[in-house]
Structure 1
Amino acid sequence: MGLLGAGTFGYMEIEHWNFVDSLFMTAITLSTVGYQTVHPLDQSGKYFTILLIVGGVGTVGYAIATLSELILEGHVYKLLGIRKMDRKIGSLKDHVIVCGYGKIGSLVIPGLVERSIPFVLIEENPQIAREAVEKGYLTVEGNASEEEVLKKAGIERARSLLVTPSSRPADSVYITMSSRLDNPGLSIIALASDPKTESKLLKAGATRVVSPFVLGSHRMLLALTQPTILDVLDRVVSPESGGFVFDEISIPESSRFDGRTVSEFSQDLGIKFHIIAIQSKGLSRLVLPTAETIISARDQMVVIGTREDILRVKENLGLPSDLYEKGQSFETA
């Protein structure tokens, strides 16, 4: 386009031709089709034409070769694929962002897929990012510590963020702090193997910090001292479980059950399930309820029951059930 413009302008200035004749002369010169000149050329016009042929024909040939290479190697399709993925990510809301497809991320993501929970993966390694795209995962290639990468993943619209351990612990702290500033209501789950990093992550704004070593030690102790309890826990939290499952239910605002007792709540619904813990909004401690425990709006209840019964409870409360087909809530996941 630059050559066409320069050639057209040159003929108009040197030969004083009109725009159409100048454009036509430039086009037949650059394409080397061999037509005769539109009008006779004076000496200046001939010199200009020589320069246009020497500089322009080579550039046009290079442009055609480059375009052919792009098409043959699939770069155009890749570019279109990236833009399509960007549009999909841009349309997401209340999704999960997973920082890193490492040991933890590669185990968490299949669980999100199993539960039909929308998510975006941020991966710095180009090869791993390509593999994630091939698996059909919405992926942003880049370092999650960069603000532009987080924004591209939709941090302002996300519901949860999983910060996996990094080779640079300071990155995890910065990602947590930056994300908290961009989205004050975001639920940030950070993983830390170092107790010092754990305290820094909490100060930076992490909602919860999980230590793989602490969790592993708890499971090993259960396996050693109370193996049956461990088997039961594994069974009820497994997506493949065919029996009872754990789930988390939130009492909506203006619910008719606000101020009712646990006994009245269960009897009114007429559904078999058990409330094993209640956490009031804004309080960290769990209440082990009795039949007379009062339920309030925005309480989080941990329940156990069959998948079908828990789905019926959620339907009665007016909670969305499309994400709970596997019997696992978003918060539990």
Structure 2
Amino acid sequence: MYRIEEPRLGGLRIKEWRRRAHLALGLLLLVLLASTLGIALLDHSEAPAGAKLFTAFWDAINLITTLGDFSDFNADQKVFMLAAIIVTMVVAGYALRQLAGMLSGDDVMVFWENRVMERKLETLSNHVVVCPFSPVGQMVAARLREAGSAVLVLDSDAKQADKASRLGYMVMLGDHNSFDDVLERARLDTASALFVTGSDPNSNLEITLVAHTLNPHLRIVVSGENELRRMLLQKAGASTVIDQNDIVARAMVVRVDAGEAQRA
């Protein structure tokens, strides 16, 4: 699901986690450098300077990674290593405390989910958009998917959007104040059709107008309850206006006529 009103806290948490991770890494590198220099300076053997430095670096790496494959230490080095171990434990504890749990919040999950959906939307084409996921919209979406179409559901109701997502549809969620942004990001420029399936006539008219403005060549199918509404929707850009009441009435009459014919 792609949420237009994405919580900004998710992105801020990730940025803060990266800042803290860089700080923790910097502290560990500082401990590594200080340990290497300290062990090398306290090495009183007759070994060449390069060998001393390499051995010191090896011991420092073992200290940081806790591998434990140390070389033999003299008394001064043992005292230094004791202090270095304490410092390493403090730095590691600080790093874990700063980083633990920061990427497990719901806002972070929403952030990553949006990033995944953004990549899908970038390549989306020849899809069918259903807006909203009303009872009629659910039937339309199901039949379109059965016919092999890629269906993108748009809705402003979080419960309906969650339901569509659980059913496996691609979903975009945005409240009424940001629904123009939802339509702009629904890739109407590459869509094959838009089905407007809401029960609010004014909302249907607004969606039709915005969608036609975004893509004048888009096929838009929308329901209209009377002749005046049909005219308004057609002027707004609707390709097909369906009167649901008329369809129901015709179906009822056909059923009655068929029943009378059978009795006759």
**Mapped partners of 2:253, 2:202: distance in 1:** 31
Shift of residue 3, structure 1, vs aligned partner: 6.2
- Decide which of 236, 241, 254 is 1:209's aligned counterpart: 241
Equivalent in 204, 211, 218 of residue 186 of structure 1:
218
Q: Using the TM superposition, give the Cα deviation of residue 63 of structure 1 relative to its aligned residue in structure 2, in angstroms.
A: 4.3
Q: Which residue of 110, 122, 136 maps to 2:142?
A: 110
Structure 1 CA distance for aligned equivalents of residues 167 and 195 of structure 2: 20
**Counterpart among 145, 150, 165 of residue 183 in structure 2:** 150
Shift of 1:223: 1.3
Q: Does 1:87 align with 2:119?
A: yes
Question: Aligned-pair distance for 1:163?
Answer: 0.9
Residues 195 and 23 from structure 1, CA distance in 2 versus in 1: closer, same or farther, beyond 3 angstroms?
A: farther
Summarize the alignment of residues 17-28 of structure 1 with structure 2, pairs less than 5 Å apart: 24=30
Taking a change above 3 Å as real, the CA distance of residues 6 and 179 of structure 1, as seen in their structure-2 partners, is: same
Asked if the contact 1:98/1:162 (under 8 Å) is kept, the reply is yes
- Aligned letter for 1:157? T
**C-alpha contact (below 8 Å) 1:177/1:205 kept by paired residues:** yes
Give me the TM-score of the superposition, normalised by structure 1: 0.48
**Structure 1 counterpart of 2:87, which letter?**
Y
In structure 1, list runs of 5 or more residues that go unmatched: 8-19, 37-52, 230-333
Query: How many pairs does the alignment contain?
Result: 192
The 1-side partners of 2:107 and 2:23 are apart by 32
3-state SS, counterpart of residue 187 of structure 2: coil
| Matched-pair contact (CA < 8 Å) for 1:89–1:120 | no
| Structure in which a larger fraction of residues adopt helix | 2
Specify the SS of the correspondent of 2:169. coil
Check 1:149–1:61 CA distance in 2 against 1; reply closer, same or farther (3 A cut).
same
Aligned match of 2:167: 135
**What SS is found at the alignment partner of 1:189?**
strand
1:94-120, Cα deviation, whole Å (9 max, x unpaired): 221100111111111111111101221
- Aligned CA distance change for structure 1 residues 228 and 123 (closer, same or farther; 3 Å): farther
Cα deviation digits, residues 72-129 of structure 1 (max 9, x gap): x7954x6544433333333222221100111111111111111101221112222221
Partner Cα distance (1:156, 1:61) in 2 = 47
- Provide the TM-score with structure 2 as the length reference: 0.59
The alignment's C-alpha RMSD in Å is: 4.0
Q: What is the SS of the residue equivalent to 2:188?
A: coil
Letter in 2 for 1:128: Q
How far apart are the structure 2 equivalents of 1:22 and 1:92? 44
For residue 192 of structure 2, the aligned residue among 122, 134, 159 is 159
| Equivalent residue runs for 1:1-20 within 5 Å | 2=19
CA deviations on 1:246-301 (whole Å, 9 max, x unpaired) are xxxxxxxxxxxxxxxxxxxxxxxxxxxxxxxxxxxxxxxxxxxxxxxxxxxxxxxx
Q: Is the 8 A contact 1:165 1:192 kept in 2?
A: no
**Aligned equivalents of 2:111, 2:166: Cα separation in 1:** 14
Q: Contact 1:122 / 1:143 at 8 angstroms: preserved in 2?
A: no
Q: Deviations over 1:3-52 (max 9, x none)?
A: 68899xxxxxxxxxxxx899727xx9xxxx7429xxxxxxxxxxxxxxxx
Whether contact under 8 Å (2:128, 2:151) holds in the other structure is yes
Query: Runs in 1 of length 4+ with deviation above 6 angstroms?
Result: 3-7, 20-23
Verify: 1:64 aligned to 2:97, yes or no: no
Q: 1:220 corresponds to which letter in structure 2?
A: M
The partner residue of 2:156 within 115, 118, 124 is: 124
Specify which structure has the bigger relative contact order, considering alpha-carbon pairs within 8 angstroms and separated by 6 or more residues: 2
Letter paired with 1:185: H
Residues 22, 132 of structure 1: alpha-carbon distance in 2 compared, 3 angstrom cutoff: closer
Residue matched to 2:48: none
> What is the alpha-carbon distance in structure 1 between the residues aligned to residue 23 and residue 116 of structure 2?
35
CA change 1:130–1:88 in 2 (3 A) is same
